[in-house]
Chain A
Amino acid sequence: MSTPPLPDPEVPPPAATGTAAVTTTDEKPPPQGNTVMREILSSGWLVTVLAVVLALVLSGVLIAAADDDVQAALKYFFSQPMDTFAAAWSAVSSAYVALFQGAVFDTNAETFTAAIKPLTETMTVSIPLILAGLGLGIGFRAGLFNIGAQGQIILGAIFAGWVAFHLDLPAYLHLPLAMLAAIVGGGLWAGIAGFLKARTGAHEVIVTIMLNSIAVYLIAYLLTTPVLQNPGSTNPISPAVPKSAQYPLLLGDSFRLHAGFIVAIVAAIFVWWLMGRSTIGFKFRAVGANPHAARTAGISVNASYVWVMLVAGALAGLAGSAQVLGTDKVLTADVAASFGFDAITVALLGRSKPLGTFFAGLLFGALRAGGFAMQARTGTPIDVVLVMQSLVVLFIAAPPLVRAVFRLPAPGPRKARAARSTTKEVAA
């Protein structure tokens, strides 16, 4: 089966409205392949690895620059330059070691359970990133720039929370019902954008951005009303999620890792099947790659827009459920943290493919989980993780830049193909 080469971040998704303008000529043939060495050096995974390295190096510069010792040493840089470098090295290396220990394996821990805990934290944190990232990836491949995972996560959490707090059911009904509610909530919220795009052509970027903000105020408001607020509390916080609606813990009480991770794995497999093996995914991809041709072949582009958003929103809603029913076990206005925005970078890093998104989610989950440890141990603020994430995505999206930095040879086929498809873009 051929999975079409879609979408590299450097290839813009086609805008679906307006007149089309094609500027390629038929004169340019498919470029020829080149040497084996070049193939390897220019391959996607190498660029990915180097992009991560480059992002870590640049973030290291930021860490060093803000470090007190480095600043102190800089004052006498010209007399003893090595002091500056030593201070910088120590600042950066201790931060990164703490990051690693907090994200994967704590070498200082006394028990194996404590040593392995960071890895389970990474997995826990990655759940919403993977779920929402999978949804966004479907959108990107279907030509929809859904920026609205943040709002969809919040709505998923609100719906799941309401079912958890207000219904009294046995566990085998309560949790599935709460998950279903999350799917409905996230799906509906995203569906608004899909519906408006299909019916009126309203651009999904704008609508989803607006829906994000509305969701933020909506949850803030609902947490002041009996709908979600803990009775008797004056704080905007919900009651605790009853045991019957919680995701079961996977590794016992000493770890936070919960069944949401299984949900994420199942979701990834589902998305793989949906996009690669089902007629629905075929339609989604066709609409994403060329809505005009899809329409002419009898595929309903508008219906696709609505369905894509419903599926993407459902996955983001599940991400919300993982937070409220699994990780936090209570609903606050900050339930979505910045998962919705981070999920965009996750989907981009994973090139919108399920497997890629899964690992990208784990990577960013690791950065986040490790970031807390780093902040606690070395005082390096976790904000630097945002810098790493954005740099990784920027570099991945611009392979020529990474190659230029590491002086790799330019690739034969890949780049030429990208250039072709960009000039062939359908106008907005």
Chain B
Amino acid sequence: MSAPTTDRPAATAPDEAAKPLAPISWKAPTGYGVFSVLSLVLFGLLPDSGRESTFTISTSKDFFQIDPITVPSKSTAILLSLIALGLAVFSYVETKNRRKVGVWLPAIFGVCVVMAFLVWADAGKDSPIPLTGLLQGSLFLAIPLVFGALSGLLCERSGIINVAIEGQLLAGAFLAAVVASITSSAYAGLIAAPIAGALVGALLVLFSIKYVVNQIIVGVVLNVLVIGVTSYLFSTVLKNDAARYNSPPKLPTIDIPVLSQIPVIGPVLFRQTVLVYVMYVVVALLQIFIFRSRWGLRLRAVGEHPKAADTVGIKVNRTRMRSTILGSAVAGLGGAFFTVAAGLAFGKEMTGGKGFIALAAMILGRWNPVGALAAALLFGFSDNLQVVLGIVGTPIPSQIMLMTPYVVTIFAVAGLVGRVRPPASEGIPYVK
């Protein structure tokens, strides 16, 4: 006798239509609707007509030049807002019909609203908005966020929550500055930075794995510890002989031949320091190796179901230890951005909360390297937008602009971007 099969039946039985259905979540279309209407009213309808906005695109080194684009502010903003509104309606229809839309919708929606905003911000201004420069700066400011987010996801994928990203960035920035100054080599600083991050990671491992202290507590406290140690050494050793200890050389910008001369893409992607090229490689490698390699499979197994991993002979705590230290080293490397890549001397608490934004980027990017990159770029963009608009002269106070990434993150974690699913065992110590 054969028992009936126990596979799940196909979801669509003939009488399905008559049955009560799950309630629909209207969060997404509502969000789109609100923002597109706001955009239409604030950027399109309310401002005076007859003004123009200008965008420059080319830089002088490009193969060919693209002339600055000048558009009538009001009608362009209205047009862009209407496209956004159309997308909101489309999203409403799809949600009503219980269909899912791809990531293209929020992407295009975001571009439309942001462009409408830029058109409005530049309306009637003499100075154009340098579009390429805006993107270039966004990538630049996203560097520590990308490294920080990658660090977070390496740790969390293995089950260790890393709230100490901030401290790791700061430690990396500090050691990079000191080593680069002493050796007069920016590259030596670049090598030292991950070591500093790894040291902080080693403490995180020691307390969270060996002594089973709550990982968030350790992270929070390690941040304070690193701030204390670096600020103390800054106020004593570094200040006493700044020329020797705290005048790091800047990493040179390396133009990739040919590629760097492509308009827009070239200057943004291929006229950068070696740190950025390392970043491309790290993102690509992690994206492949976390999901397709033996190392990645084991890493994720340990973060999802450590006991299952243990029963097939994977050393859970050793795996967690390694990935946490590796992740911390990645954050440390990102710390080099603040000193040797930016060409600045080390300053007290100079990371200014970037580690926390990196944490947010990791969550927005759903524990996925490419996602984290995208989220970090978004934050970098909003950061840089504030700088650019400051130059252009904008009607919005800079503090309000600076708040944006944080507000966006709150909306994001509150579920406007859909459900996120962290590794199942993150934050739970593995004790046999």
CB of A94 to closest CB in B, whole Å: 15
Number of interface residues of B (CB under 8 A): 53
Residue A203 at the B interface, CB < 8 A? yes
| Interface-side segment among A10-18, A119-127, A251-259 | A10-18
- Can you offer 24 A-B residue contacts whose CB atoms are under 8 A? A12-B429, A18-B424, A201-B415, A206-B360, A206-B413, A207-B410, A210-B406, A211-B406, A213-B353, A214-B407, A345-B221, A348-B217, A383-B234, A384-B228, A387-B228, A390-B222, A391-B225, A397-B214, A397-B218, A398-B213, A419-B212, A419-B431, A422-B429, A428-B428
Residue of A nearest to B220 (CB): A344
Cβ contact within 8 Å between B221 and A394: yes
Minimal Cβ-Cβ distance residue in A for B357 = A213
Complex: A389 Cα to B223 Cα, angstroms: 12
Q: Which of A215-223, A299-307, A406-414 contacts B (4 or more CB under 8 A)?
A: A215-223
A341 interface residue (CB < 8 Å to B): yes
Q: A397-B207, A425-B428 are in contact. List 17 more A-B contacts (CB 8 A).
A: A12-B428, A12-B429, A15-B427, A66-B233, A196-B410, A196-B413, A200-B413, A200-B415, A201-B415, A213-B353, A214-B403, A217-B399, A386-B227, A387-B225, A397-B213, A397-B217, A428-B428
B236 contacts which chain A residues (CB < 8 A)? 66-67, 381
Q: Does A209 contact B (CB under 8 A)?
A: yes
Q: How far is the CB of A191 from chain B (nearest CB, A)?
A: 13
3 tightest Cβ-Cβ pairs between the two chains A and B: A386-B228, A398-B211, A381-B235
List CB contacts (< 8 Å) of B392-422 with chain A.
397, 399-400, 402-403, 406-407, 409-410, 413-415, 422
Shortest distance between the CB of A8 and any CB in chain B (Å)? 9
Asked if residues A397 and B431 are in contact (CB atoms below 8 Å), the reply is: no
Query: Which chain B residues lie closer than 8 Å to A218 at the CB level?
Result: 399, 403
Residues of B within 8 A of A422 (CB): 212, 429, 431
B414→A427 contact, CB < 8 A: no
Which residues on A sit within 8 Å (CB–CB) of B431? 419, 422-423
Q: Chain B, 215-257, contact with A by CB distance < 8 Å: what is the 0/1 string? A: 1111011101101110111111100100000000000000000
**B338 at the A interface (CB under 8 A):** no
Partner of B403, one of A13, A202, A217, A419: A217
**Nearest CB of A to B218, in Å:** 7
Q: Give the shortest distance, in Å, between A195 (CB) and chain B (any CB).
A: 10
Q: Is B307 an interface residue (CB 8 A)?
A: yes
Q: Is the CB of A221 within 8 A of B427?
A: no
Q: How far is the CA of A418 from the CA of B229 in the complex (A)?
A: 31
Q: How far is the CA of A384 from the CA of B307 in the complex (A)?
A: 41
Q: How far is the CB of B412 from chain A (nearest CB, A)?
A: 9
Set A202, A348, A391: member contacting B414, Cβ < 8 A: A202
Interface string of B47-81 (1 = CB under 8 A from A): 00000000000000000000000000000000000
Q: Which of A11, A199, A383 has the most CB of B within 10 A?
A: A383
In chain A, what residue has the closest Cβ to B422?
Answer: A428
B301 within 8 Å of A (CB atoms): no
Q: Please indicate the chain B residues that have their CB under 8 angstroms from the CB of A90 in the complex.
A: none
Q: A10-B212, A147-B220, A221-B397 are in contact. Are A210 and B410 (CB under 8 A)?
A: yes
Chain B residues lying within 8 Å of A220, measured Cβ to Cβ, are 399
**Chain A contacts with B in 278-317, Cβ cutoff 8 A:** none
- A261: chain B residues at CB < 8 Å are none
Minimum distance in angstroms from A238 CB to a CB of chain B: 16
| Set of chain B residues within 8 Å of A386, measured between Cβ atoms | 224-225, 227-228, 231-232
Contact flag A394-B406 (CB < 8 Å), given A9-B213, A66-B232, A218-B399: no
Given contacts A383-B235, A393-B221, A428-B427, whether A210 and B360 have CB atoms under 8 Å apart is yes
The interface residues of chain B lying within 8 Å CB-to-CB of A142 are none
Given contacts A381-B235, A386-B227, contact A427 B428 (CB under 8 A): yes
A224 interface residue (CB < 8 Å to B): yes
Give the CA-CA distance A203 to B415 in the complex, in Å. 11
Q: Given the complex of chains A and B, what is the CA–CA distance between A209 and B357 in angstroms?
A: 9
- The docked-state distance in angstroms from the alpha carbon of A75 to that of B401 is 51
Most buried by A among B215, B402, B406, B425: B406
- The answer, yes or no, to whether B122 is at the interface (CB within 8 Å) is no
Measured in the bound complex, the distance between the Cα atoms of B227 and A6 in whole Å is 29
Answer yes or no: B163 CB below 8 A from chain A CBs: yes
User: Assuming A12-B429, A394-B221, A401-B211, is B415 touching A213 (CB within 8 A)?
Assistant: no
- B363 CB within 8 Å of chain A: yes
Tell me if B413 and A207 are in contact (CB < 8 A): yes
B111 CB to nearest chain A CB (Å): 24
B359 close to A394 (CB less than 8 A):
no
A214, B357: Cα distance in complex, Å:
12
B356 at the interface (CB under 8 A from A): yes
| Interface residue A385 (Cβ < 8 Å from any Cβ of B) | yes
- Over the window 143-172 of chain A, the binary record of Cβ atoms lying under 8 Å from chain B Cβ atoms (1 yes, 0 no) is 001010000000000000000000000000
Q: Within 8 Å of chain B (Cβ to Cβ): is A23?
A: yes
Residue B383 CB within 8 A of the other chain: no
B400 engages A221 (CB within 8 Å): yes
Are A202 and B410 in contact (CB-based, < 8 A)?
yes
Name the one of A62, A341, A394 contacting B229, with C-beta atoms under 8 angstroms: A62
CA distance A199 to B410 in the complex (A): 13
Which chain B residues border A205 with CB–CB below 8 Å?
163, 216
Find A209's partner among B359, B403, B422 (CB 8 Å cutoff). Answer: B359
Decide yes or no whether A400 CB sits under 8 A from chain B: yes
The 8 A CB mask of A360-401 against B (1 = contact, 0 = none) is 000000000000000000000101111111110110011011
Q: Is A19 an interface residue (CB 8 A)?
A: yes
Contact check: which of A13, A210, A427 meets B409 at CB < 8 Å?
A: A210
Q: How far is the CB of A6 from chain B (nearest CB, A)?
A: 13
B residues in contact with A214, CB < 8 Å: 403, 406-407
